[in-house]
């Protein structure tokens, strides 16, 4: 077999595998959307779920997922961006730095169920926070932090070396160079990675089973006192998220329309995650074009 024939065979095999994966993904998404999109309505998105009766919705669970997402990113982004800047600009090459990178890689490959058990042992029991939004946010921070660190480190390392050296040659300090020259260049990549990480948080379920809980109190959306047990803004209340709700309905749902509720909730979850991904790509390209135009 000559080189050209081998190259053609390899190309055909690669394209066939890629096409199979794309078709499999399209089929899976199409099955979920076709099965559940007909059950989505405004009442379904805003009403509370029913335990036994038919006609429940996903309003509290959807709000819990969004609130948990915001809470998680408020904790993850500052720590992840700061750690990424340190690793790319301040950490000296050596065994310690390589060990830290290895730990970050190991953490990023941890199964979410392990992170959930760690969160239950540390945040729920050791620190006595209980099953709450805050425990879930802290567990998801452990789960998502390696991704933010890697994204920030790669974005900062991707800044042209000439721009950094020119800034230092003009007498700017290292910190001023990082904040005024390098960070604006790396910002589109960091924001895109942050949005993708947010989509990952929104669809997480296993880690939240042991931290945020599998129940949610009846929320009073007229009570915005964060200290009230029925306030939607209370971070110390248990909170069943949308992904956990789907798992719970499929495993132990008693309502006669449990299958329809699960299908509709799955479609909402898939649509939201797709919006996160497409939004991240669009926003990243928009920021890149805007930055390129201003340069």
* Domain CATH number, residue 106: 1.10.3720.10
Q: Residues 181-201: what's their mean pLDDT?
A: 84
Tell whether the model's pLDDT for residue 295 goes beyond 60. Answer: no
Give domain status of residue 198, yes or no.
Answer: yes
Tell whether the model's pLDDT for residue 161 goes beyond 60. Answer: yes
Tell whether the model's pLDDT for residue 37 goes beyond 60. Answer: yes
Question: For residues 84 and 156, is the Cβ–Cβ distance under 8 A?
Answer: yes
Q: How confident is the model at residue 79 (pLDDT cuts 50, 70, 90)?
A: very high
Query: Which pTM does this prediction carry?
Result: 0.85
Give domain status of residue 112, yes or no.
Answer: yes
Give domain status of residue 178, yes or no.
Answer: yes
Give domain status of residue 20, yes or no.
Answer: no
CA quadruple 65, 71, 76, 82: dihedral, nearest 10: 150
Report the mean per-residue pLDDT for the chain: 85
Range of the domain at 143: 40-294
Give domain status of residue 199, yes or no.
Answer: yes
State pLDDT tens for residues 89-124: 888 887 888 888 888 878 877 888 888 899 999 999
Structural domain tally of the chain?
1
Give domain status of residue 4, yes or no.
Answer: no
Give domain status of residue 1, yes or no.
Answer: no
- Counting residues of the chain whose pLDDT is more than 90, the rounded percentage is 16
- CA separation for the pair 262, 40 (Å, rounded): 11
Largest CA distance in the chain: 75
What's the alpha-carbon Rg for the chain, to the nearest Å? Answer: 23
Per-residue pLDDT at 292: 62
Q: Residues 208-213: what's their mean pLDDT?
A: 89
Give domain status of residue 63, yes or no.
Answer: yes
Question: For residues 116 and 207, is the Cβ–Cβ distance under 8 A?
Answer: yes
| Window from 9-13, 146-150, 152-156, 224-228 with minimum mean pLDDT | 224-228
């Amino acid at each position: 077999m000559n080189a050209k024939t081998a190259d053609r065979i390899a190309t055909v095999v690669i394209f066939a595998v890629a096409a199979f994966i794309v078709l499999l993904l399209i089929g899976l998404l199409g099955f979920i959307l076709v099965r559940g999109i007909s059950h989505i309505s405004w009442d379904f998105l805003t009403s509370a779920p029913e335990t036994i009766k038919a006609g429940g919705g996903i309003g509290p669970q959807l709000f819990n997922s969004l609130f948990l997402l915001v809470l998680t990113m408020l904790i993850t982004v500052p720590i992840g961006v700061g750690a990424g800047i340190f690793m790319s600009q301040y950490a000296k090459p050596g065994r310690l730095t390589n060990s830290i990178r290895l730990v970050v890689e190991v953490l990023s490959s941890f199964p979410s169920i392990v992170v959930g058990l760690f969160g239950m042992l540390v945040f729920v029991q050791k620190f006595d926070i209980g099953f709450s939004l805050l425990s879930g946010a802290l567990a998801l921070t452990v789960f998502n932090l390696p991704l933010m660190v890697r994204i920030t480190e790669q974005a900062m390392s991707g800044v042209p070396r000439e721009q950094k050296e020119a800034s230092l040659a003009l007498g700017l300090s290292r910190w001023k160079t990082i904040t005024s020259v390098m960070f604006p260049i790396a910002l589109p990549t960091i924001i895109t990675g942050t949005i993708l990480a947010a989509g990952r948080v929104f669809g997480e379920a296993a880690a939240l089973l042991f931290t945020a809980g599998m129940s949610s109190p009846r929320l009073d959306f007229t009570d915005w006192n964060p200290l009230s047990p029925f306030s939607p803004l209370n971070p110390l209340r248990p909170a069943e998220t949308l992904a956990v709700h789907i798992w719970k309905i499929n495993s132990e749902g008693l309502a006669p329309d449990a299958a329809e509720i699960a299908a509709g909730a799955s479609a909402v979850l898939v649509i939201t995650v797709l919006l996160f991904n497409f939004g991240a790509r669009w926003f990243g390209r928009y920021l890149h074009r805007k930055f390129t135009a201003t340069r």
